[in-house]
Amino acid sequence: MIAALGGLTLAALLIVLVPMATSSDPVAVCVDAPGDLPDAGVEGWQGEQLHNAAIIVRTASEQGFERDGQVLGVMAAMGESSLHNLDYGDWETSRFTNPDGSRTSSIGLFQQQEWWGSVETRMDPAASAALFYGRLAALAGWQEMDPSYAIHRVQINADPGYYARFEDDAVAVVDALSGPCPA
């Protein structure tokens, strides 16, 4: 009888523990230690991308933005640069121009043009995130707007719905970066 109970207990543990060990759901980690993220990444985002997302989340938090604002910043950078800090933009890749016909000067995580700030500022992930959040904070009612539309109002891109495709991934990444930090 004891052996049968032991076998049942072992089987029950295996039923619970094996799926947990093989789950692709990341364990939430401290935003200040993104190196602790699983090698497999989060929803296909990994390495440098998650490091940059952590910088965006940290900057948002420092500026008083909670999860909803953090998600918007990560969504924007996913859509603009795939979370890579690019030193080139739409003009170089597709000859895209501004509405007035001038060349774009987009660079960085948020593909910000020269009127956003200096090259150094736009190429610094925390500084470029701060620029994004400064404009988001000035956007009245952004919390009630569709997330993609709110980002569109900050980024001023061609398609208000463009960023919607990144929302689920941004939520997963922000949640993965929302674990407790050691004291």
Tell me the domain boundaries of the chain. Answer: 28-176
Q: Give the pLDDT of residue 77.
A: 98
Is the model more confident about 29 or about 115? Answer: 115
Is the model more confident about 141 or about 10? Answer: 141
Q: Give the pLDDT of residue 10.
A: 39
- pLDDT classification of 2: cutoffs 50, 70, 90: very low
- Pairwise CA distance, residues 171 & 50, whole Å: 13
Q: Give the pLDDT of residue 35.
A: 63
pTM here is: 0.79
Is the model more confident about 95 or about 76? Answer: 76
Percent of the chain with pLDDT over 70: 73
- Pairwise CA distance, residues 162 & 39, whole Å: 29
**What is the distance in angstroms between the CA of the first residue and the CA of the last residue of the chain?**
48
Q: Give the pLDDT of residue 90.
A: 62
- Pairwise CA distance, residues 138 & 125, whole Å: 20
For the domain spanning 28-176, the CATH number is: 1.10.530
